[in-house]
Every structure is written in structure tokens, then in C-alpha cells.
Amino acid sequence: MKRAFSFRNIIVLLGASLLLSSITIAITILRKTAHSPKSSPQLILWAWERPTDLRFIDAKHVGVAFLAKSILLRSDDVLVRPRLQSLQLVEGTKVIAVTRIETDRDHKASLSAQQRDAVSRAIADLASLPNVSEIQIDFDATKSERSFYRDLIKDVRSHLPAQFRLSITALASWCMFDDWISDLPINEAVPMLFRMAGDGKHIMTRLDAGDDFNATPCRQSYGISLDEQRPKLLPSRKLYVFNPDAWTEKSLREISESPR
Amino acid sequence: MNRFPLNTTSKFDRSGRTKLSLIVAALIIGQVLAIPFLLPQRTQACGPFFTDAIFVFSKHPDFPLDKFAAGKLGVVSESWARSYLVIAYRNLAGDPLSDAEAKAIKSLWDDRLNNSFDYYSDSWVKDWNEARKAAGATAPVEVQVYRNREKPREYESFLNCQQDAFINATKLLNERVKLFGVNSQQVKSWLAAQDTVFSNCSEGRHLPKDAAAELPDLPQLLRADRAYQIAAANFYSTNFDEAKQQFEAIARDKGSPYQVIAPYMAARSMLRKGSFAEKEDEGRPFLNDAETRLGAILKDNSLKDSHHAADRLLNLARLRAHPEEKLHELAREIMKKDASQDFKQAVWDYTILMDKYVEVEDEAAKRQLPASLGSDDLTDWIVTFEGDLATGEAHAIEKWQKTKALPWLVAALANAGGKQPLLNELLAAGANVSPSSPAFPTVAFHSVRLLKEANRAAEARAMLDKILAGERQQLNSSALNLFLGQRMMAAQNLNEFLQNAPRVPAGFSYNDDGRELPDEDSAPKASEAPKSLFDLDAANVFNKAMPVAILKDAASSKTLPANLRRDVAQAAFVRAAILDDRETAIQAAASLGAELPQVKEFLDAYQKATTPEGRRFAGAFLTLKFPGLRPFVSAGVGRTTAVDDVDSYRDNYWCTDPPTPQNGSPSEDAQGKNKSVAAPDFLKTAQTLAARQYAALQAFGPGPNYLCRLSIEWAQKNPTDPRAPEALHLAVRSTRYGCTDNDTGRWSKAAFDLLHSRYPNTTWAKNTKYWFK
């Protein structure tokens, strides 16, 4: 009986396998590159609630994540405030639309399905803004709010076109000690390394010592503030920067030129 | 994991089966080889904001704000929001608020502190849909009241359709229903047109059909309605010129029920057009046009029904067209009691305008304010008091010399430094301010500050002692704490220091948004005596500027309340033990044992240790058993977990630096430099020793490293000590729940390895499954 797998066949088989695996790996790398941080600017400025003129930035190297919407959850209500301050950008700037969510401390949010639906639609609406290719959610959810937030993220993801990136800001403790975010359908979680309370000092020490975040989504970027000390940062990661004052060419230079 | 689909085409010949088998095999193998690159990367291990004490409010005066509005100013701070400085000025100028003004300003503060003005609620549209349903509408409409601006401001929105639009529409709809009936053709037509109007709130340009085209026999009233609706649709779709012309036409139509309101709407169209202009000078002609139209309305008695609305809109138009002029106009209104018809609105508009002029973009440009800004006294005073002027000190003194007015004395004292040539005159004037004056706390605080800066410490102390003895009950908490802080730093001996270090907080707050809003749940109950805590200034002195022998004396002093004495006692013992100052540690142990009886057994072991190693280990073992002990004193609320429990937010053992308040400022500034700590007068000569001891403490690194090292050393030399395996277990635990650095991992592993190799069958080893990096 003729042997199905002669020596020659084996060589051919191995060669074909190698070729195929190379193609697969290459395609995977390309797909990752399309959404990887490296294809977009590595420095992102947060533009918050003040008139902001960033027409001086180099859009090839600097992107902008601007506060596009603020949402307050109060009892059963969803109170929405879009951006009411000017934002002036240079053509071609990579733009991330951020939604900040807060819950009213005096009138506890019901966190109902209806509320979640209203919030997710309000966030997903931001995808229609010009030049926006990424949505970011900023919500310091307490432990009791996590289930709501998890479902909200899933809902937002389902409303967004597939090519849209979805990121969240993350408390540094979520990234380091309290990982509940690794299985969320997000592209990125930006660890916020400023205005930290609790074990913030400990986290800074760990990062200075060369440790990394435990939660995978937190390993692409850092969030820092101009007015606070920062730990040792890996230069390969994207940097989001908050400025408590207005952005100027001087403050941009300060962050662009400071060593990591 | 991504998978490529298998190619199962059957067009191969017989030998193709072999080829197919090869292809399939290749695909499978190829995928297997590629798996590491396709699998998601795997890796290996709330919101923590805490309530903490606020000793001196920095964003606003002490609560309740009614007292502030009534003239109990406390120490006025330049960091407060301007609406508070406005009221401070009124009181300092001898013109306190009327009851109506006090009520109005309280309403403004409530709105701003609660952000309640800021959010749109969907109740406007809900109510409108209720009215529609009652009129026969079968389905609700979705209306988005905000509209995006056009390029280049496409990321900015504005509130296009305001609440009054829905209220008026509801009123009119109800009237039309009464006239024509629910579900009538006329009402349906009206409602459809109104829905079209509101569809412009968020986007596009959607105009209702012309009345004649839709229903030729539409009654005159509804024709007039339609004309107005079309004009409104143009208004909301930002076609302001067309809207203006259409409103003007309505204003000329004597038969239209909108004849009176139409001129107002025409003016409003121009106001919006002017406000949306890209450049100020492009918008100015339209703002001026709006102003002219509104002025004409107010002069026309036949339009008196729209006078109130026109008056308010004129205020807004002038605000936008002539901001600086309006600023001063508002200031003059605000400065005089009951001069303004709408005090809340006046202060609101004034502070918004102030933000426009004094919003600092760049520190270098900060001081170059227009000279004319100071042409009214209120604005001049606020800008000077805040320190916004490069020439603030000189200007304040010049104004005080010229006017001798109390607000300017306050500004002069606040801006002056210890080398001011007119210091004695300022201080003399300050001394004449009566304790019942609203200015007293601010004047006194800055007088003390200036005396200290001028190296006149004895006078500063005397002034403070007089205030604290005579006026303590009249001072609010922030003011009292400020004076205590000043007196503490002027202490001539330990007892004076300890008398003035404890402070009752002015409030408790999460302060996660920086607004210092009180957390009512954390405030002490009315039936409880207020508890004193240390502020950061006192904690810094204890931790960095006080030699351990003096710390030990503080621990035994009855001057401190029990809770603070306990904190000092544990810091004294642990620090002395780490620094291996046996005598101090034994004396501190007596204090600590009295405050924390549960640690006595371990303190005894420390005292009974016969060797230095035994002593050091005993001290370490105590802190391993009681993770809440550390060589530092806490500021603010501090650690709230029981001393023998592990805190789940890692506030255990100690770090290289002392603990900071839960929401307080870091010990390093943004450049990573340690902030220097000022020493009180009586400790100035002990700073070399204090610095040496602090450096020695820091050299040991974070607590877990030190505890592991001592546990390992002891276990190696004293393997049969029954404490040894427990110590190793607790040491490994400390590396998980305490501060760490580069070296902690190797200490953790070393302790782990020794525990398992030397004591493998102990419960301690069995309960130590991991070591920690």
C-alpha cells in the first residue's frame, strides 16, 4: 500500500505549515497594529471643562481626549450635559470623546436597566461627532456600582461600530491589586496615576521598583497630571496628560521634553 | 483564538486526497505554531476615596454659610471662590446683606456647590410629551435640547431649546385643544408643526409647512401660530437673519397674538447671532443691534408685557457686548444694600465676568490685567486681595493710606511681608480693629504672620495668647485651627506645642472633586464631644522635626487627649525600637502599655530581652503582631482599622515616608522634591539630631523589609524560639499588605524559604503558601 506520508510529503508538509503560520502571525500583527497604540499618537492631552485652544499641537504626535459629555445619575434620572466649552483643534488631530459619569451621593442612583440604557445611548451618540474614532468612559465606580458599569460597557460596545475603540480610565488600584476589568470588552484601560488616595503611594513605589500592572488592559498607557509627581514610566506606552490649568505651548513642551 | 476556516473544496483528483490531507495537516500545524501569537496575552495577582478631616477650608468658608453671609467671616482666604469674596467685601465695607440678599446669595451657593444648575433634566420633554398625549398624540417624540455648534466649534454644544420653550408650547397647545378639541385637524396640524420646530433643537433645519399650503381654510389664529412656528424653527436652526425678518413681520401684524413678543424674539435672534460669532468684533454689530432693539422695547409701553423678559435679555446683551462696563455696573449694584433687583443674578453674572478677565492662562501673563479693571472698588479689592497683581502689596497699601477703609487694611495686611516699611503702622491699625468686627480674624491672623516674619516672636505669641484666651468661642473652626497652628509653631517648649497641636476638624469630606463638601455621615453626632486630631503641620513636626527622646516625653504628657496620646506613644516606642535607643524605648513602652494594654505582654518581652538582637527582634515581633503600629504619627483621621488587624487598603506597618492624610497633599512636590518641614521655635536647636534620626529611619526602608530581615536573622540564630516560625509567617504577610520597594521581593522569598525549610511541619508554614514581590 502506498504510504500517504512519504519523506517528501513530510518536507512539503512542514514547509507549508511554516509558510501558513508565518502568514497567520503576520496578519495578526497587522491587525493588532491597526488598533495598537503605536499607530496613533503616543501623547494624548486631556481637554476638560474649560475653553481650550490646541491649534498649536503637532497632530502627528499629539492627540486630544476631550470631555464631550458629563452624566449624573440621580435616583432614576439620567442628567446629561454635553460639552459647553469651546475646543479648537488643528485639522487631522486624533480625537477621543470622553464621557464622565458620576452618581449623586445624596440621591442614590437606581442603576436600573432603563438608566443603563439611557446612559449607553448617550455615550454611543458621541460616535457621530466629527473625527472621533474612540470613546473613553471616565467613571470611578464603587464596588456596588461595578456590575452596572460592567453591563454598561458591554452595552456601549454593542452600540459602537466595530472599528471604534472603546477605552476607560481606571483607578490605579484596579490595575494593580483589584483587577475586575481584565475581561471587559475594552481596548484599553488608562491607569490614573494622579489624585490617588488610599494605596496610591504604594502603587507609585511598586511602579518605581519596576513592577507592572496586573490587569492586562492597563498595560498600554498611563494617565498623569502635570502638577503631580509621576512614577517611573515605560517610554513605550502611551501617555495621557491632564493639566489643571489651560494648555499652552509651554506646558506642552514641558511634558513632551520631560524624561520618563 | 482566531481560526482560519479550513479549505474543504473537493475539486482535487484522487491524488488530491493526499494533497488535501497535506493541506489540512499544514493548516492545523500552521495554526498550532501561530497559537502563541494569536492567544490574548496572559499575565500572572473602592474607588479608594476616603473621608478625611478638613481643618481649614480652602475653597469656601466654614459651613453653615448663613453665618458667613451674616458677617461671621472667619479668616478670609484668597483661595475662596469669588462669590464669597464679594460678600466678604460687603461686610468689611460696613454694608452687611439684607435678609433678601442673604437668601439670594445662599441660593447661589447652593446651586454652585450642588452643580444643580448645570444639568438638563429630561423632565422638560417628558412634560411636553404628556401634554401632547393629552392632545391626542399617539407616540412621544424624542427631543434633544442641546445642539452642536458649527465648525470650527463642532465639539461644543449649547442649550438651544430651553425650559420656557416647552412651557409656552404646552400652554399654547392646551389653549388650542380647548378651542378646537382633542384630535381635531387643527390641533393635529398645530402639533405636527410644533414637533417640527422642536426637531431643530438638536440639528438640521426643518421648517413647518406654510399654513396656506397645508390647510387653505386654516383659521386666522392658526395661521398666526404657523407664522410664529416657522420663525421659531429658523431661530432654533440658527438661521438668525431669516428668523429676525419673520419676527419683524409678525411684529407688524396687528392681528397676530404674537405681536408683542415678536420684537423681543427678533432681538433674541440678533443676540444669539452675535454670541455665536467666531471673533468678538464680528459679533459686536449684532450684539449692539440686540441691545438697541431691547432698549426700544423697554421704552415702548405697548410692549410692556415683554418688558420683564426684555430687561433680563438686555442684561445679557450688555454683558456680552460691553463686558467690562457691565462688570463695573454689576459691582456698583452689588456694593450697595438692596441696590440690585436680582442680587443672585447680579453676583452670578459678576463672578462669571470676573472669571473671563482674571482666568489665568499663563503664570507670566497672570499679572498683566487691564488697568481699568480696578475702576470700581469691589473689583479692585478682589483682584488685589487674591494676589493677582504683581504690584499687589504696594497697591493695597496705597489704597489703605488713601482711604483708611477696612477692606483695604485687610488687603494690605494680607499682601504685606515682614519687611514692609510701614509694618508698624499696619499693625497699629490692625490692633484697633474690634474683636466684634467681621475683619477681626483676618486682621489678627495676618498681624501674627507679619510679626513672625519680622522676627518679633514674643509679640506674636502674646497676641495669639490673648486671642485664644478671649475670642476662642467667637471663632469658627477654620479660624481657630489657623490660630492654633500659628501658636503651635511659636511654642517655646513641648507643653506649649502639645497644647496647640490638637485640632477639632472644621469638617469631614471625601473631597474627591476638590469642592470640600461635607460628608454628613462622617461628622460626629451632636451628642458626641468633638474629637481632636493632628493636622499635617503637627504630624510633620512629630515625624520629621522631633528627636525621639522628645517624642517619648510627648507620649507621657497628659496635655494630649487620649486618642492622640496613644498615637504619639506608639510612634515613640516603635521609632525608638527601630533606632535601637533602648532607654527611650523602655520609657516609651510604659506610655504605650498604658494606652494599649493588649501590647503589654510584647512590651515586657522587649524590656526583658538580654541582648541587642533579642531586643530588636522583640520590637519587630510586636509590630508584626500589631500591623497598625508604626514609627509615625498620623495626620487627619488616620488608620481606622483595629491595631491588631490588617487593613485592606494596605495601610499597615510603615513606609519609608510618614503617612499622609487620606486626601491630603503628597510629601513631595511635582518635581519629586521633599517638601521641607518647618520646626517650631523650641525645636530649632534640635534639628540636626532630628534630621539624623529621620535619615536613619528612612535607611531601613519600608517596614516589611526591616521586619523580614530581623525575623530571618533571629530564626537563623535562635531556631528553637517558638516565636520564630510565626514571625517568619507574619513577615511574609507583611510583604503582601504593607509598603514595598525593589528589595521587598527578595526579603519575602528569603523569609518564605527559611520558614519552609526549617519549620516545614508547622501551622505557620502550612499557612504561608506564597511569597510576594
For residue A4, the model assigns a pLDDT of 45
- In B124-238 the beta strands, taken as DSSP E runs, fall at 146-148, 157-159
For residue A38, the model assigns a pLDDT of 46
Instruction: Enumerate residues 195 to 234 of chain B having a beta carbon within 8 A of any beta carbon in chain A.
Output: none
Contacts (Cβ under 8 Å, ≥6 apart) of B287: B270, B271, B274, B275, B317, B320, B321
- Which amino acid, A165? R
Contact (CB<8Å) B47/A142: yes
For residue B266, the model assigns a pLDDT of 98
**DSSP-derived 3-state class of residue A182:** coil
Cα separation, B528 vs B464, in Å, equals 28
For residue B731, the model assigns a pLDDT of 98
* pLDDT tier at B657, thresholds 50, 70, 90: confident
Cα separation, B398 vs B421, in Å, equals 13
Q: pLDDT tens digit string along B539-562?
A: 999 999 999 999 999 999 999 999
Question: Which chain A residues are Cβ-neighbours of B739 within 8 angstroms?
Answer: 201-202, 205
Q: What is the 3-state secondary structure (H, E, C) of B76-144?
A: CCCCCCHHHHHHHHHHHCCCCCCHHHHHHHHHHHHHHHHCCCCCECCHHHHHHHHHHHHCCCCCCCCCC
Question: Which chain B residues are Cβ-neighbours of A227 within 8 angstroms?
Answer: 670
Residue B367, pLDDT above cutoff 80: no
The bridge status of strand A165-171 relative to strand A132-138 is: parallel
Contact (CB<8Å) A214/B43: yes
Find cell 436597566 and name the residue.
A113
For residue A44, the model assigns a pLDDT of 97
CA B682-B417-B677 angle, to 5 degrees, is 35
Axis-axis angle for helices B280-299, B261-276 (nearest 10): 160
- Which amino acid, B636? G
Q: pLDDT tens digit string along A153-181?
A: 999 999 999 999 999 999 999 999 889 99
Residue A17, pLDDT above cutoff 80: no
- Model-level pTM? 0.81
Find cell 477692606 and name the residue.
B407
Contact (CB<8Å) A9/B18: yes
Cα separation, B529 vs B543, in Å, equals 27
Task: Tally Cβ neighbours within 10 Å of residue B749.
Answer: 16
Question: Which chain B residues are Cβ-neighbours of A226 within 8 angstroms?
Answer: 670
For residue B649, the model assigns a pLDDT of 78
Q: Please, where are the H alpha helices in B370-439?
A: 377-385, 392-403, 406-415, 423-431
Residue A24, pLDDT above cutoff 70: no
Question: What are the Cα distances from residue A144, in Å, to B537, B594, B707?
Answer: 36, 41, 36
For residue A105, the model assigns a pLDDT of 80
Residue B534, pLDDT above cutoff 90: yes
Contacts (Cβ under 8 Å, ≥6 apart) of B735: B704, B708, B744, B745, B747, B748, B751, B771, B772
- b (16+ CB within 10 A) / e for A109-118: bbbeeebbeb
CB-based contact B476:B506 (threshold 8 Å): yes
Closest Cβ–Cβ partner in B32, B33, B649 for A198: B649
Reference B60, options B38, B75, B50, B42; nearest CA is B75
CB-based contact B705:B625 (threshold 8 Å): no
Candidates B155, B352, B742: best to mutate against A (most CBs of A within 10 A) is B155
CB-based contact A168:A135 (threshold 8 Å): no
Gyration radius (Cα) of chain B, Å:
37
Contact (CB<8Å) A197/B702: no
Residue B682, pLDDT above cutoff 90: yes
* pLDDT tier at B617, thresholds 50, 70, 90: very high
- Which amino acid, B476? N
Closest Cβ–Cβ partner in B21, B34, B154 for A25: B34
- Rounded to a whole number of angstroms, the distance from the CA of B254 to the nearest CA of chain A is 39
CA A242-A243-A244 angle, to 5 degrees, is 115
Residue B463, pLDDT above cutoff 60: yes
The average pLDDT across B247-265 equals 97
For residue B527, the model assigns a pLDDT of 63
- Rounded to a whole number of angstroms, the distance from the CA of B49 to the nearest CA of chain A is 6
For residue A25, the model assigns a pLDDT of 52
Cα separation, B278 vs A127, in Å, equals 25
Contact (CB<8Å) A205/B670: no
Whether B280 and chain A come into contact, CB under 8 Å, resolves to: no
CB-based contact B58:B77 (threshold 8 Å): yes
Closest Cβ–Cβ partner in B45, B46, B120 for A143: B46
Question: Which chain B residues are Cβ-neighbours of A84 within 8 angstroms?
Answer: 156-159
Contact (CB<8Å) B650/A202: yes
- Which amino acid, A191? P
Question: Which chain B residues are Cβ-neighbours of A187 within 8 angstroms?
Answer: none
Closest Cβ–Cβ partner in A21, A205, A245 for B30: A21
The three grid cell numbers given for residue A130, joined into one nine-digit string: 466629527
- Above pLDDT 70, what percent of chain B? 88
For residue B341, the model assigns a pLDDT of 79
CB-based contact B752:B732 (threshold 8 Å): yes
* pLDDT tier at B29, thresholds 50, 70, 90: very low
Tell me the CA end-to-end span of chain A in Å, nearest whole number.
68
* pLDDT tier at A57, thresholds 50, 70, 90: very high
- Rounded to a whole number of angstroms, the distance from the CA of B767 to the nearest CA of chain A is 21
Question: Which chain B residues are Cβ-neighbours of A16 within 8 angstroms?
Answer: 22-23, 26, 30
Question: What are the Cα distances from residue A58, in Å, to A41, A45, A63?
Answer: 10, 12, 9
Strand partners, A212: none
The average pLDDT across B428-449 equals 97
Find cell 511681608 and name the residue.
B417
Residue A41, pLDDT above cutoff 90: yes
Cα separation, A236 vs A233, in Å, equals 9
Contact (CB<8Å) A4/B18: yes
Reference B280, options B355, B345, B356, B373; nearest CA is B356
Contact (CB<8Å) A17/B30: yes
For residue B540, the model assigns a pLDDT of 96
- Which amino acid, B541? V
Residue B605, pLDDT above cutoff 80: yes
**DSSP-derived 3-state class of residue B43:** coil
Contact (CB<8Å) A21/B34: yes
Contact (CB<8Å) B34/A211: no
Instruction: Enumerate residues 517 to 556 of chain B having a beta carbon within 8 A of any beta carbon in chain A.
Output: none
Residue B233, pLDDT above cutoff 60: yes
Contact (CB<8Å) B31/A179: no
Q: What is the 3-state secondary structure (H, E, C) of B725-770?
A: HHHHHHHHHHHHHCCCCCCHHHHHHHHHHHHHHHCCCCHHHHCCCC
Find cell 488535501 and name the residue.
B20
Q: pLDDT tens digit string along B390-425?
A: 788 999 999 999 999 999 999 999 999 999 999 999
Contacts (Cβ under 8 Å, ≥6 apart) of B638: B533, B567, B659
Q: In whole numbers, what is the pLDDT of chain B averaged over residues? A: 88
Whether B7 and chain A come into contact, CB under 8 Å, resolves to: no
Q: pLDDT tens digit string along B138-195?
A: 999 999 999 999 888 899 999 999 999 999 999 999 999 999 999 898 999 999 999 9
Instruction: Enumerate residues 51 to 90 of chain A having a beta carbon within 8 A of any beta carbon in chain B.
Output: 66, 68, 70, 72, 77-89
- b (16+ CB within 10 A) / e for B239-255: bbebbbebbbebbeeee
Contacts (Cβ under 8 Å, ≥6 apart) of B601: none
Whether A26 and chain B come into contact, CB under 8 Å, resolves to: no
- Above pLDDT 70, what percent of chain A? 85
Contact (CB<8Å) A197/B154: no
For residue A211, the model assigns a pLDDT of 86
CB-based contact B730:B625 (threshold 8 Å): yes
In terms of C-beta distances under 8 Å and separation of at least 24 residues, what long-range contacts does B166-170 make, across chains too? B166/B124, B166/B125, B166/B127, B166/B128, B169/B128, B169/B131, B169/B194, B169/B197, B169/B198, B170/B127, B170/B128, B170/B131
Cα separation, B9 vs B29, in Å, equals 19
For residue B369, the model assigns a pLDDT of 65
The three grid cell numbers given for residue A89, joined into one nine-digit string: 483643534
CB-based contact B574:B631 (threshold 8 Å): yes
- Rounded to a whole number of angstroms, the distance from the CA of B120 to the nearest CA of chain A is 6
- b (16+ CB within 10 A) / e for B136-145: ebeeeeebbb
- Which amino acid, B377? D
